[in-house]
Chain A
Amino acid sequence: MADGELMSTFGGLVDDRVDDGVFRVDRSIYTDPGVFDVEMERLYERGWVYLCHESQVPETGCYFAAEIGLQPVVVTRQQDASLKTFINACSHRGAILTPLKQGKALVFTCRFHGWAYNCDGRCIRIKNEVEGFGEDGFDREQYNLTEIARTESYRGFVFGSLTDNVEPIADYLGAAATWIDLLVEQSPEGLEVVPGSSTYVIRGNWKMQMENAVDGYHVSTVHRVFAATVGNREQRDGSTGMAQTEGGRITGKVPSGAYDLGNGHMSIWATHTNPERRPIYRKKEWLEANFPPEHVDWILTRGRNLGVFPNVMIMDNPSTQIRVVRPIAADRAEVTVYCIAPIGEDRKVRAARLRKFEDFYLTAGMATSDDMAALEDTYAGAFGRAARWNDFNRGLNTMVNGPDEGAKALGFNPVSSSPSWENETLFFGFYRRWRDMMEVGS
């Protein structure tokens, strides 16, 4: 398609007429391979994309292999402790340079023809160079690794951009940065990714995973069985303290809310029914001594899910999680979940955090598995193209533009606020960002 056609096509896929009470998206945005190809080019290759957490590259030479859209990249820790990100392909014939997903290598030696690169990307050795190129015939400088335009970290969360035409990461995160702060503030020693992870493949579209993480409306249906199961367990076992999990939040009986945070970022929160059951509650006094009361209130009493456009979710709800989505094709996305926790955390507290994580957040657990099944069904349903639209209208009547009282107290400035996490007005921001980036021609 010519660019002119694309521009009109993508604009038409988001039916944004909020004044008329309409916000909906065409279901082909999930199913059309042509849309996917343009998303890779215009969303993923023209903006910030989450790569990894700094604790995954702790020392000089440590690397972490990630992707920006379909492009393989590798984040490396430099001699001066800064981070650089390179296209993860040998400059010679393109083999992936990292033998493992994560590791340590001061020199990357390509396992195909033996070309070698310093962790700063300089090509330092060509196998049998003189025999192949003569005494002075080869300019290694021309074959340094290709560094991506920007690598920046916000409080430990590392993002990369293939283009220089992006604002600083803190500005890009904007109101979402405050939500990251609420997690980081929980540990003076910093946060670390706990050993172990789980990767799963969604037979569906990557945007559905982003939607699911901040969709509070499904919780009281899809996770009703989770609440019933843990309720049954607690009755059976007489669980106490940190072993307990919450049912009230899931059945929708608690105060909650949702925010369109701007730049496509979204968040939801719901009050914990028994905040003292949560591992962080043991740090209440320390938090009160170090942070304003509004921060302490948000940290201790509100479960929070954040979606950062386009590819990462950061959650502090039953447990603490980084969830990264990697688009593969219109009909396929790979998702990896990590537990993130305070460095030096007490062993019992860490164990409680992990048990809650495993209960809920894995496709081998008792909630994410149900999310995945629901999500894959919405993908299958999206092929019913004679019924064209997915609606996101819920909550238009109660949405307020700008911050509500909670946002003002905490000091972040959302595009809109909603008094229930069951409302869908936060998705306006995601799909407006999507539309705006997709409409800019090449």
Chain B
Amino acid sequence: MEIDHDLKRDVAELIQWEATLLDRRRWADWIDLYTEDAVYWVPSWANEEETVSDPEAHLNLIYMRDRGGLEDRIFRIESRDSYASLPLDRTVHVVGNVLIEKVDGDEIAAFANCLIHSYGKKGGQTRASLYDFTLRRQADGTLRITRKKITFIDDRLEGPVDVYHL
């Protein structure tokens, strides 16, 4: 595949923005990166080597069929009434290995990896995710996230896990 450097820059920019907005707790701006019909999927591990494959029939860590699920999470964080979210853990996401898998009309499939360091009452821990994105070009020319699958590498979770840990 011939590399479209403009597209690659746009894709990397969006994925890095997402990580930055989470770490800076700019929740409304973060949500805006997603289309209203965006699917957000964190499969559970079916066994030591594979995650589950069918979110409608298998247990997931998180599976949201549209952006409303992310809005629920922000509602909960901002309520200051969630035991697990007060105090809020500090996080740093470091995104890398951004690669375009394929382009299909307005939609771009992309890979990325992420190391996430979080720090809370029980100390710090560093975990990792594989990201599978589908991005869609909007009418105004900008890119938005229309699907994000997060393969959370850690499988024996210490402490509560929310959207900003992943």
Q: CB within 8 Å of B: which residues of A? A: 100-102, 194-201, 203, 222, 224-226, 228-230, 232-233, 236-237, 334, 338-339, 347, 350-351, 354-355, 357-358, 362-366, 369-374, 376-377
CA of A233 to CA of B157, assembled, Å? 27
CA of A188 to CA of B122, assembled, Å? 46
CB pair A199 B155 closer than 8 Å: yes
Contacting residues, chain B, for A196 (C-beta < 8 A):
43-46, 51-52, 58-60
**52-77 of chain B: CB within 8 A of chain A:** 52, 56-63, 68, 71-73, 75-76
CB pair A229 B72 closer than 8 Å: yes
CB distance from A340 to the nearest CB of B (A): 10
Interface of A is mostly: helix
CB pair B75 A363 closer than 8 Å: no
Task: Beyond A201-B156, A225-B76, A376-B121, list 10 extra A-B contacts (CB 8 Å).
Answer: A100-B47, A194-B58, A196-B46, A196-B52, A196-B58, A197-B44, A203-B122, A203-B159, A355-B63, A369-B84
Partner pick for A363 among B46, B76, B83, B160, CB 8 A cutoff: B160
CB pair B59 A358 closer than 8 Å: yes
CB pair A347 B157 closer than 8 Å: no
| Contact (A354, B75) CB under 8 Å given A196-B46, A196-B52, A376-B122 | no
1/0 per residue, CB under 8 A from A, across B3-24: the answer is 0000000000000000000000
B48 close to chain A: CB less than 8 A: yes
Partner pick for B59 among A194, A347, A376, CB 8 A cutoff: A194
CA of A366 to CA of B61, assembled, Å? 11
CA of A201 to CA of B122, assembled, Å? 12
User: Which of chain B's residues has its CB closest to A321's CB?
Assistant: B59
Residue from A197, A201, A371 having most chain B Cβ neighbours under 10 A? A197
Contacting residues, chain A, for B48 (C-beta < 8 A):
100-101
Contacting residues, chain A, for B2 (C-beta < 8 A):
none
CB distance from A265 to the nearest CB of B (A): 26
CB pair B59 A236 closer than 8 Å: no
Partner pick for A232 among B57, B72, B82, CB 8 A cutoff: B72
CB distance from B70 to the nearest CB of A (A): 11
CA of A334 to CA of B155, assembled, Å? 12
CA of A269 to CA of B60, assembled, Å? 26
Contacting residues, chain A, for B122 (C-beta < 8 A):
203, 376
User: Which of chain B's residues has its CB closest to A361's CB?
Assistant: B59
Contacting residues, chain A, for B44 (C-beta < 8 A):
196-198
A-B contact pairs, 24 of them (CB 8 A): A196-B45, A196-B60, A198-B59, A198-B61, A199-B155, A199-B156, A199-B157, A200-B157, A225-B79, A229-B75, A233-B71, A237-B68, A338-B59, A354-B57, A354-B63, A358-B60, A358-B63, A363-B159, A364-B61, A364-B157, A364-B162, A366-B82, A370-B83, A371-B83
B81 close to chain A: CB less than 8 A: yes
CB distance from B71 to the nearest CB of A (A): 7
**108-137 of chain B: CB within 8 A of chain A:** 121-122
Partner pick for A233 among B68, B160, B162, CB 8 A cutoff: B68
B99 close to chain A: CB less than 8 A: no
B98 close to chain A: CB less than 8 A: no
User: Which of chain B's residues has its CB closest to A368's CB?
Assistant: B160
CB pair A201 B75 closer than 8 Å: no
CB pair B157 A363 closer than 8 Å: yes
Residue from A196, A200, A374 having most chain B Cβ neighbours under 10 A? A196
**144-166 of chain B: CB within 8 A of chain A:** 155-162
B143 close to chain A: CB less than 8 A: no
CB pair A374 B83 closer than 8 Å: yes
CB pair A358 B61 closer than 8 Å: yes
Contacting residues, chain B, for A197 (C-beta < 8 A):
44-45, 59
B42 close to chain A: CB less than 8 A: yes
Contacting residues, chain A, for B61 (C-beta < 8 A):
198, 358, 362, 364
CB distance from A426 to the nearest CB of B (A): 23
CA of A201 to CA of B161, assembled, Å? 12
CB pair B81 A225 closer than 8 Å: yes
Contacting residues, chain B, for A376 (C-beta < 8 A):
121-122
CB pair A369 B161 closer than 8 Å: yes
Contacting residues, chain B, for A198 (C-beta < 8 A):
44, 59, 61, 157
CB distance from B1 to the nearest CB of A (A): 34
Contacting residues, chain A, for B76 (C-beta < 8 A):
225-226, 229, 366
CB pair B52 A232 closer than 8 Å: no
| Contact (A339, B59) CB under 8 Å given A229-B76, A364-B161, A366-B76 | yes
Contacting residues, chain B, for A101 (C-beta < 8 A):
47-48
Partner pick for B161 among A224, A232, A363, CB 8 A cutoff: A363
Contacting residues, chain A, for B71 (C-beta < 8 A):
233, 236
Residue from A362, A365, A371 having most chain B Cβ neighbours under 10 A? A362
Contacting residues, chain A, for B158 (C-beta < 8 A):
200-201, 203
CB pair A228 B81 closer than 8 Å: yes
CB pair B47 A372 closer than 8 Å: no
CB distance from B156 to the nearest CB of A (A): 5
Interchain residue pairs A-B with the least CB separation, the first 4: A196-B59, A369-B160, A196-B44, A373-B84
Contacting residues, chain B, for A373 (C-beta < 8 A):
83-84, 160
CB distance from A243 to the nearest CB of B (A): 10
CA of A347 to CA of B61, assembled, Å? 19
CB pair B59 A372 closer than 8 Å: no
